[in-house]
Structures are given as C-alpha cells and as structure tokens.
Structure 1
C-alpha cells in the first residue's frame, strides 16, 4: 500500500456555509469506511480526496501530492465511483467512455482501444463494446464506471454509496468484485452494516470527525447515537 490519504486541519465552505471543519485524518488501511448521516459531509470529504474540490483551509495529501493541484497525478492515485453513474458517464458509447481516462493519461487512441477491449473481454462483456450507454441498466452503468476506473489502475478507490441505487443481486455481484480488488477501498455510507468489515471506520458528524478507529469501537457508538437521535424530534428545523 502507498502512503495513503491525509487531511490536516481541513475546512470546506460553500457560499458561506461550513460543510467540513477541522478535519484531521490519516487513512492508510486497506479497507476504510466513512460513516455518517445524510448531509454530514461524507461526499465532500471524498471529493476533496479526489481533488475535485480544493479545501477552504488546511491541506489534503494523496501519496504526498496535493490532489487539487495535480489532477494528472491523481489519475493513477485515486478513482471515484459515485452513487449515481449518470452523474459520472459523459460519452454515448461504452467504448468511448472506457477509453476516456486512458486518453487523459496520454495513451494513443489505438493503445487505449486495445486496453478497453481487453478489459471488456476479461470482464465477460466484450459484446458491450459498441453498445450505447443508454442501453445499459443502472447496475450495468455502475459496472461500466468501475471498469473505466480500473483501467487507469489507481492505488485507491473512493466509493460514494456504490450500492444505493442497485437491486440485491446487482449489489451482491458488485460487492464480490470490489472485495477481490487489490486497491485500497474507501467507502462512504450511512449504514453501519455496509462498512462493518472495514479495517478502519471514520465517523463524520456535522462536518467534523466524531470518532476514528476500529469497527468494534466506532460502530457501537455510532449505533447508540443514531438510536438516541431516533428517539427525539430532531428534524423539525428547516435545512436552509
């Protein structure tokens, strides 16, 4: 494994609204779960790690590199899989979508195409090559996005609620595929069950790190707090 991802005193605000405050983290384990309620700042944390957002304050380092300042280096360092593949796919055909990242890395078109076809064959999906993305199911689109990321061979995969929009059989297939990967996996979720097998759990609450540690320490505390919140009328205030 590489040096991992570190956050040092990271704040992030948008339009004057604070989303993350004072986040200091070192994520080096092979399997990491980012746990928290909806709106806690989990997805923002992943976007900062991928270099898609720069921090308002503090610093983010991925294998010693600032991800927001060196996007090309990040192509091999991290790949991000969003909850909704429609927010990630930009090309009309499977082959074009898969080749895009490789072309960004500077590979000639013929070399990129060769790697795309080899990936599709290895995944048992050679017949997808000329298909339009619109012909794919939601689960197939998610698999397409995963293949596009794996083609770039990043050291770390950032997974933003990857199973949320999938039916149970598709969840099982994707879960098996992810579990077999050698890369570091950082998975965000609001469900403790989905990250129970991780080596390290980071609990984000209100834009801050509430706890960070082994699942047997963090998960019982998270469940207890969620149960407490469920007993009180805590959702009456308007979000704005």
Structure 2
C-alpha cells in the first residue's frame, strides 16, 4: 500500500536582489493511505499533483515526512521502490530512449531475459498484445502520439511493476487515442495512480483527490470529488 505521512516538499528559489535564497512550498503536510485499485488526482496546473506522483518512485524526495510504498521508503530504497513502481510521463518521447518500440521494450527486459533472441520474441509479443506489432520496428518519431504512449506504457509494464503511476497520460492525445489508453488503463491488473486533467479518465477511478495549493482539498468518490473540482474552477 502507498502511504504518505505528514509529507511536505519545499524547493529553494532565488529571493529579491541582495536577499539570497528563499523557499517555495510545493506540497504541505500530506497524509494519505492509498489502498484503492484506481486512484486519480486532479487539480490545476501548478497545484502540486505531479510533484505528489513523483514522490511515489523517488523522482522527488520529501523535505519532511515520510513516503512508504509497500513498506519501502523511496528516499532510502529508491531501487527497491522503482522495481515496484512503473512511471509513465505525459510526453512519451521523454522516456522512449531507443530508436524503435521493439528496442525500447527489449531494453526493459534485459534484466529478466538474458537470451537476446528470447528477449526479442518476448518484446514482440508484448507489443502485439497492445496492437503495436505493425510499428515495432519503426522509428518512434514516425509513430502517432497514441502509438508512442502505448509503446512507452508497454516498456514500463514489461518489468511487471505492482503499481503504475501515470502523470497526465492522455494530455497529448486525440480523442480516439484517449479512449484507447483509457480502456487499457482500466483493464490493467496493477494498481494505477494517476494525475489528470481528463475528468472522464478520473471518473473511472475508485477514488479521486483534488489538489490545490499543495494540499488535498477534496477526497472521495469520483462524482463528489470531481463536482468539487469543477465548482472550484468555475
């Protein structure tokens, strides 16, 4: 289970001329247990929801308080946490590091499948399961936005993480590909924790939390929490 215990995140910022450095608070005193299978965070840009997600695999370290993922602290056991937590970014080009989807998924499988030919066969099978067999050896720059995001997701899931964290995964996608990714996320066996502006995607969750000014301001069933967020934005 994911737990946040009194977590705050502060970063240094330059002060006025001659006044040195100050601090900016990105998250303030967040305490949460997240046992649900599907959890969504919604909030305006700059609200802190992406920072909160990045705490869960050690991309951001808490300034105070503690984060636990199945009892492991990302600050002291980042490697162990990252084996359990897969992270999908908004822009798939920021994490597709190899020239083709096939090579990228193969890279993910290197630790678990030593034989090169077996690894390539396994990578092809995983891409085919996502409907990407026809683009497996194409340049990632020739893929559509939806194909790139599915390729990135396939590479992350290739190592079979227990938890998938996704930071605004549908933001760069058109309607068709948003619907495809929404269906894929719904069908996964993993616990899925995501931040999103896509309120239809958030509505699929078991629990929705609204982030504003670095704090959780609403937390509950999707209908209730989304209504609170929409009222805030109005």
Same fold (TM over 0.5): yes
Instruction: Find the counterpart in structure 2 of residue 9 from structure 1.
Output: 6
Of 53, 59, 63 in structure 1, the residue corresponding to residue 66 of structure 2 is: 59
Tell me the CA shift for residue 38 of structure 1.
0.8
1:123 aligns with 2:120: no
Q: Deviations along 1:46-66, whole A, 9 cap, x unmatched?
A: 111122121111111111111
Tell me the CA shift for residue 125 of structure 1.
2.7
TM-score by length of 2: 0.87
Whether the aligned pair in 2 keeps the contact of 1:154 and 1:183 (CA below 8 Å) is: yes
1:224 aligns with 2:231: yes
Consecutive aligned runs of 4 or more in structure 1 exceeding 4 Å deviation? none
Q: Which runs of 5+ in 2 are unaligned?
A: 13-22
Mark the CA change 1:137 to 1:70 in structure 2 (over 3 Å): closer, same or farther.
same
**Residues 116-125 or 13-22, more deviating:** 116-125
Q: Return the alpha-carbon distance in structure 2 between the equivalents of residues 68 and 101 of structure 1.
A: 23
Of 129, 154, 165 in structure 2, the residue corresponding to residue 147 of structure 1 is: 154
RMSD (Å), alpha carbons: 1.8
Instruction: Find the counterpart in structure 2 of residue 186 from structure 1.
Output: 193
Equivalenced residue count is 223
Instruction: Find the counterpart in structure 1 of residue 19 from structure 2.
Output: none
Instruction: Find the counterpart in structure 2 of residue 37 from structure 1.
Output: 44
SS at match of 1:224: helix
Tell me the CA shift for residue 109 of structure 1.
4.9
Instruction: Find the counterpart in structure 2 of residue 157 from structure 1.
Output: 164
Q: Return the alpha-carbon distance in structure 2 between the equivalents of residues 136 and 172 of structure 1.
A: 18
Instruction: Find the counterpart in structure 2 of residue 108 from structure 1.
Output: 114
SS at match of 1:114: helix
Q: Return the alpha-carbon distance in structure 2 between the equivalents of residues 188 and 132 of structure 1.
A: 28
Q: Return the alpha-carbon distance in structure 2 between the equivalents of residues 200 and 86 of structure 1.
A: 29
Q: Which runs of 5+ in 1 are unaligned?
A: 228-240
1:50 aligns with 2:47: no
SS at match of 1:50: coil
